[in-house]
Structure 1
């Protein structure tokens, strides 16, 4: 038996008071012979002790057993929670977590239909089927040159609409240019026709868009902007009946037409009258732009011509008379605002003459020899032609003239200056300017458009960006960008005040970017719905501004939830982007491959499908390998390696790299022409084309005489050839970044592009882009590629060139340049 607890042990005897009472009672009962006291007492004590003990023991055992049973039913609560309170995570996805209903049975049916309706050569590869059947909200497709992406995109569109039932007004395919849009529309009409659809071209145009034609309806849906016109589409010509006005715009065409220039000039006139600071800046820029640029006295041209200073001075007055007569006969002289003055100036100890003086600018004027005049013209008895004598005088003035000189090169420049000095309402500034880093000078307002466009394409506001830039005190670009800041703000207001209002495309995108989400909330469901399911081609060429607009739009669509698609099959949203970072060649306009290379991070999604289209259905393996070798050192998506998937020739012809020889080149072009090959003549710049065409004139005229469909030769720049192909491709000119752009480097940093701490991020990006441009040019070739490059100029700083990456020891290159043989 277990030992009882102390409190349950029976007492050894009763307490003294109870014992006293018991003793008295016991004695009384004994006298009455009712009991035997001693026996009773003994029995009472013994019984008391025994009963008490047994009762306590029985109660303890029962209670103990019951307590154990109840103890088994007690829940032990231990608080293992952290001390911090719970905080929900942030759902920053642009998409809901959903999947389209692409069952295994449906995929099998689709494949059977495609096999029955499309020819064998057009059957998708395994990777292409992965694109077509993607079932994640976002999809990134890396498609190299000749990968057959267009057919895959058309089939993706067919799957969403025909097999999954999604309405066409919830789907948008975005192409980059007007030409690619037309090609894609035709492919949609052709393929959908095989499935029994009789869509009109207009119906398909509603689905297949450029970025510009997609943003315009959004702005026009806002109150007061129903008739809004895009500045880039302004024209003095009335649109044809039934034509799609403002349907497209070339994103890379910076040329201004008369209607656009007129609006800019009117704004310029008003700002010159209302802003003293702007007028002051224009005056400083005009003098800086027109003033003859200094030339170092040690320059070879100066050293060569300084010896004839005295001889040149003796004939200068006669030369001035002759040139002045030419200007007078052309109606270009005198010029209002320029005082005719034959003042003289001492040049290295000899006296030379000016033609006039501009009080407003405190500068002297010399008239030049207009290029329209006969280049063989000479003064009576002179050995040198007039233009050569004029060049000698200009060189001497550049090196030794102590006064500010405006050297009017030609009649056209003089007319612009005349209009500017006369404050003509629609003449504009009347002088050209060259922003540092640009290859050529251009009219000042054209420079404003180019610089503002670059800044805005990077997703920045012009006024704010200029406020964060800095230049040396003597740098004229400091004056240029201050003037730009004043002008661009006034110009945007000027456009909005037109009837109907006008707006640049850049401002339209900015209105609906991530900095202005409230504007998207004003859009109706019907206007926003077409952007629900986006398929974008050439995504490597998007700008930061376009990316901001896309992200803001996708967030707004998700925030509206199911109400956006009540009663419709197309639900939620999705984004499918196709591109090739090796073909990103528009960085000079503000595009960047960063957003394609970092697709999953830039467009966060619950799930992303990544597709690599490695098959090349255009070129043979030597052309593919040569092109990839050229671009290999540029940053790129890892794991890329294309393989030839089309019919291969028995003998693979390497890419031939040759010294520039237009005569030999013309003979090779003629050989391919006689064989019936299609031919692309690609030029790096206009001067390359002008020299080569002289040797090809007869062949080109012969080809132009044929019907358009039968012509074999196309002439294009490297950039404009993107998307095309030919049996034989002739490349004329190297790919090289030859300038430094201080302002673009600054703006690149402001936009967060380039590596951290990289001082010249834009220039570095452009050096990489020259390699990608060479890749694009070479991959136009199906069978033959000839690359003609000029040797580096001696005694000039070495500049990286794409042809430096040619590897003569590789089988896919045949380097026939004299310097490498």
Structure 2
């Protein structure tokens, strides 16, 4: 029974609810009204009711059905959309790490076993400290080890290799230990063979040599693997007398001397270029004139003031003096000189007439012959009061002060031969003159200057031609012509060397071939050549150059990019880098190295994880020597937290003795220590100092050199050469200071991104710090005694000297200099 709304009035109830007769009557009557088009209110109301009813029923039914469906769906799932996306486009993060994210599989049980083996097989004095064990057990891809002087790092490095090979099964062919010199390489090889044999892992000499390398000996095989370069020779290895290993890159990276074989290549390239390159000839002429011409003296110079009074007298005797000097040169076969026109032109000096001996048209310069030092210094002209040597000295001083013509003064017969060879374009001779680049301490043959300057620029990771193009000099600065000539010469030299049979290449060019600027070249190398770089351990890392850093980083990136395929079937997987160094011992900045890469290790060698180890114990020196050395160097920028402590049994504390320069007193003190059976190290700053002190200690030198090498107890070396050595008593002769300013090095330092941004002279600033570090190196060579003899400082003279840092009021210094605090 259909339900109706309860409030429906009776008159609107449906017809179906009415009695039958009434329903029939209603319908008939309704049809009639419809035909008559008449309104029937009752019917209308009933129709409205029927519509309301049917509409209501349909609406309720439809609403119920749809509402129920919607309700069920909403109960089933509620979706809320909020858009957190940035409108900015973002690329994926770059993975700049040089290494995969991995760790050495070192368990507590394995560490315990290794420590037990070391305690059993090595003597007590060789047992690692806690810090050294941290270095040995480093399990991260990269490790930096700050190892001060006498820190005992060599044994720790060998034990690290033992860990990787003996205990973890890594192949020796996957690792390289880098040392900087032949001597340090030889010592490390012996120690490696000795310790591995104790573990029943005997290592042959050739196997050990394959692991312990210099950077040079590792890059050379890479280049030789390329087609056409199988017999490539390194320019630095060229020598008339080659010893074992000389051809394998086992050379000292800090060797500067040019030998005869190398010079032949330089000279041949020079003369070929000079003959063919007009601009190069234009640049050489003013350089030669500048280098050869007599250097000016200020007119208030004491020598000038003393000799100007005899100007007229000297002019009167000058022609006779010229005759005598020319005769000497003629008898020596040194005059006339081909390329120099004999011409007795007169030169006016303070109104008086003097004479020249010749003229070089090519250089536009006049020539005066001097008194050769090999002639008898007592020689006197007939009737003269002064010796010929003294007369020449007076003339020279007057010319230096008052002659403004381009003038070349030849002081020796040997010098004339060089000038003659150069003017004759002798292909076996060089340019024939020396040059001094601003900032260098002394002049050198021009081509030697080219090699030194180019080497410095390239060590900084720069291209010579590009770097020269960014330099700036005053228009009249001769260095401007020098560097333009260098740019032309260096490119020609590289081509000339490659044209030789077999081809020749400098080490710097080899490193640049496989550096970060040309990473595609590394893809040409077989896995076998790259694999030894996988686990790299580098000693003396504070002396690494930007050029080497670029090669190391490029090699590590290539190893990582090759992935697992490079290590199939091998125990050594992935790659790692462990660097040991001491920023306080960085002393080769003058060659282009920088401690920056060690001091900012994490930044320069990005890694998923890095272990940092501080080896603070000093196994060599007592505390006074350590404290004195650190006091000198503490004002230089350094890695924070460094402070060394003397290790082992307490030794007698003897302060570092500082004395005024006294060669005789030094010799006596040195003799005392030598006679007491102690080892002695005598360090000097200049070669002239070695000659001077040699006069006083010759008896000790003769005695020591007569002994077998193993029994000798005296060594004489420069401060730089003493690195890595030690002695009971150390004698330091001379101060450590930076004396010059180097405009070109400051410029290329900035190009290489070295130094502070606001520093206009970053190289010179670095060298002032390096002078302090050099003194630190010298002092820390001492085991028990250190004596430092320095020159007195002249009043009013200021300089950046290491001795300025000496604190006479501190117990670790015994400062007995006659003048203090000035």
Q: How does 1:216-365 map to 2 (within 5 A)?
A: 216-237=220-241, 239=242, 243=245, 245-365=247-367
1:579-611 deviations in Å (ceiling 9; x for gaps): 000000000000000000000000000000000
Contact 1:724–1:780 (CA under 8 A) maintained in structure 2: yes
Query: Residue 808 of structure 1 corresponds to which residue in structure 2?
Result: 808
What are the Cα deviations for residues 40-86 of structure 1, in whole angstroms up to 9, with x where unaligned? xxxxxx9x999999999999999989976764432333325323466
**In structure 2, how many angstroms separate the alpha carbons of the residues matched to 1:801 and 1:529?**
46
Supply the distance in 2 between the matched residues of 1:743 and 1:63 (Cα, whole angstroms): 89
Look up the match of 1:112.
116
Q: Which stretch has the larger CA shift, 102-111 or 58-67?
A: 58-67
Match of 2:131 in 1: 127
Which one of 440, 443, 467 corresponds to residue 441 of structure 1? 443
Q: Which residue in 2 is equivalent to 1:736?
A: 737
Other-structure match for 1:214 = 218
Other-structure match for 1:547 = 549
Deviation at 1:343, TM superposition (A): 2.4
Residues 618 and 646 of structure 1 are in contact (CA less than 8 Å); yes or no, is this contact kept in structure 2?
Answer: no
- Asked if 1:155 corresponds to 2:162, the answer is no
Question: 2:185 aligned with 1:190, yes or no?
Answer: no
2:725 pairs with 1:720:
no
Matches within 5 A, 1:15-26: 19=14, 23=18, 25=20
Q: Is the 8 A contact 1:725 1:780 kept in 2?
A: yes
Q: Secondary structure at the match of 1:560?
A: helix
| TM-score normalized with structure 2 length | 0.93
Does residue 697 of the first structure (1) align with residue 698 of the second (2)? Answer: yes
Q: Distance in 2 between matches of 1:30 and 1:338?
A: 156
For residue 429 of structure 2, what is the aligned residue in structure 1? 427
Which string of whole-angstrom CA distances, capped at 9 and with x for unpartnered residues, describes residues 486-507 of structure 1? 0100110111111111100000
The secondary structure found in structure 2 opposite 1:277 is helix
Question: Structure 2: how far apart are the matches of 1:753 and 1:812?
Answer: 34
Q: Which of residues 581, 591, 605 in structure 2 aligns to 1:589?
A: 591
**2:678 matched residue in structure 1:** 677
Aligned 8 A contact 1:10 1:49 in 2: no
What are the equivalent positions in structure 2 for 1:381-396 lying under 5 Å apart?
381-396=383-398
1:12 aligned to which of 7, 16, 39: 7
Q: Are residues 607 and 19 of structure 1, via their aligned partners in 2, closer, same or farther at CA, if it must alter by over 3 Å?
A: same
Tell me the TM-score normalized by structure 1: 0.93
CA distance in 1, matches of 2:23, 2:530: 114
Question: Do 1:10 and 1:53's aligned partners in 2 also have CA atoms closer than 8 Å?
Answer: no
2:735–2:803 Cα contact (<8 Å) kept: yes
CA distance in 1, matches of 2:814, 2:23: 144
1:671-695 superposed Cα distances (whole Å, 9 cap, x missing partner)? 1111111000000111211111111
Query: Higher mean Cα deviation, 698-707 or 548-557?
Result: 698-707
CA deviations over 1:627-666 (Å, ceiling 9, x no partner) = 00000000000000000003322x3100011000011111
Structure 1 residue matching 2:298: 3-state secondary structure: coil
Are 1:27 and 2:22 counterparts?
yes
Deviant stretches of 4+, over 6 Å: 14-18, 48-69
Q: Does residue 399 of the first structure (1) align with residue 413 of the second (2)?
A: no
In the alignment, structure 1 residue 82 sits paired with structure 2 residue 85: yes
In the superposition, relative to structure 1, how do residues 326 and 565 fare at CA in structure 2: closer, same or farther (>3 Å)? same
The worse-fitting range, judged by mean Cα deviation, of 354-363 and 605-614 is 354-363
SS in 1 for 2:784: strand
In 1: Cα distance, 2:324 partner to 2:220 partner: 56
Please name the residue that 2:573 is paired with.
Answer: 571
TM-superposed deviation, 1:413: 1.3
- Root-mean-square deviation over aligned CA pairs: 2.8
1:617 aligns with: 619
Aligned: 1:180 with 2:184: yes
Q: Is the 8 A contact 1:619 1:646 kept in 2?
A: no
Match of residue 492 from structure 1:
494
**Which stretch of structure 1 is more off in the superposition, 386-395 or 553-562?**
386-395
1:72-107 Cα offsets, whole Å, 9 max, x none, are 432333325323466421110000000111111111
The residue that corresponds to 1:793 in the other structure is 794
* 2:204 match: 200
- Count of aligned pairs: 801
Deviation at 1:696, TM superposition (A): 0.7
SS, match of residue 247 in structure 2: coil
1:73 aligns with 2:76: yes
Shift of 1:334: 1.3
**Is the alpha carbon distance of 1:359 and 1:59 closer, same or farther for their aligned partners in structure 2, counting shifts above 3 Å?**
closer
Q: Give the equivalent residue in structure 1 for 2:146.
A: 142
Match of 1:97 in 2: 101
Between the aligned partners of 1:452 and 1:28, the Cα distance in structure 2 is 125
Distance change (3 Å), C-alpha of 1:381 and 1:707? farther
Change (3 A) 1:50 1:422: closer
- How far apart are the structure 2 equivalents of 1:244 and 1:316? 55
Partner of 1:755: 756
1:495/1:503 contact within 8 Å kept: yes
Q: Is the 8 A contact 1:657 1:816 kept in 2?
A: yes
Aligned mates of 1:712, 1:288 — CA distance in 2: 47
| Corresponding residue for residue 770 of structure 2 | 769
Following superposition of structure 1 onto structure 2, how do residues 596-615 of structure 1 map, counting pairs within 5 Å?
596-615=598-617
Q: Please identify, of 709-718 and 296-305, the stretch whose mean Cα deviation from structure 2 is larger.
A: 296-305
Q: Distance in 2 between matches of 1:498 and 1:180?
A: 33
Q: d(CA) in 1 for partners of 2:718 and 2:584?
A: 18
1:332 is displaced (CA, Å) by 1.1
Structure 2 residue matching 1:731: 3-state secondary structure: strand
In the alignment, structure 1 segments of 5+ residues that lack a partner are 1-7, 32-45
CA distance in 2, matches of 1:10, 1:453: 109
- Which of the residues 640, 643, 647 maps onto 1:641? 643
The CA deviation string for residues 198-250 of structure 1, in whole angstroms up to 9 with x for no partner, is 2111111100000000100110111111110000011223x46x655233121
Partner of 2:33: none
Counterpart for residue 460 of structure 2: 458
| Cα distance, 1:172–1:10 mapped onto 2, change above 3 Å | farther
Question: What's 1:666 paired with?
Answer: 667
- The offset of 1:319, in angstroms, is 2.5
Distance 1:160 1:364 in 2: 70
> Against the structure 1 CA distance between its residues 68 and 662, is the aligned structure 2 distance closer, same or farther, given a 3 Å change threshold?
same
**C-alpha contact (below 8 Å) 1:9/1:53 kept by paired residues:** no
Instruction: Evaluate the alpha carbon distance shift between residue 59 and residue 429 of structure 1 in structure 2; reply closer, same or farther with a 3 A threshold.
Output: closer
1:119–1:11 distance in 2 versus 1, CA, 3 Å: same
Instruction: Identify if the C-alpha distance between structure 1 residues 628 and 29 changes in structure 2 by more than 3 Å, giving closer, same or farther.
Output: same
Q: What's the secondary structure of 1:609's corresponding residue?
A: strand
Residue 35 of structure 1 corresponds to none
How far apart in 1 are the matches of 2:384 and 2:656?
52
Give me the whole-angstrom Cα distance separating, in 2, the residues matched to 1:812 and 1:623.
Answer: 7
Tell me the SS of whatever aligns to 1:793. Answer: coil
Q: Distance in 1 between matches of 2:437 and 2:176?
A: 39
Name the stretch that deviates more: 249-258 or 223-232. 249-258
Contact 2:234–2:249 at 8 Å: present in 1 too? no
| Structure 1 residues 740-769: Cα deviation after superposition (integer angstroms, max 9, x where no partner) | 000001111111111112111100000000
Q: Deviations over 1:249-291 (max 9, x none)?
A: 2111111111111111111111112110101111121111111
**More displaced stretch, 343-352 vs 460-469:** 343-352
After the TM superposition, which of the residue ranges 294-303 and 625-634 deviates more from structure 2?
294-303
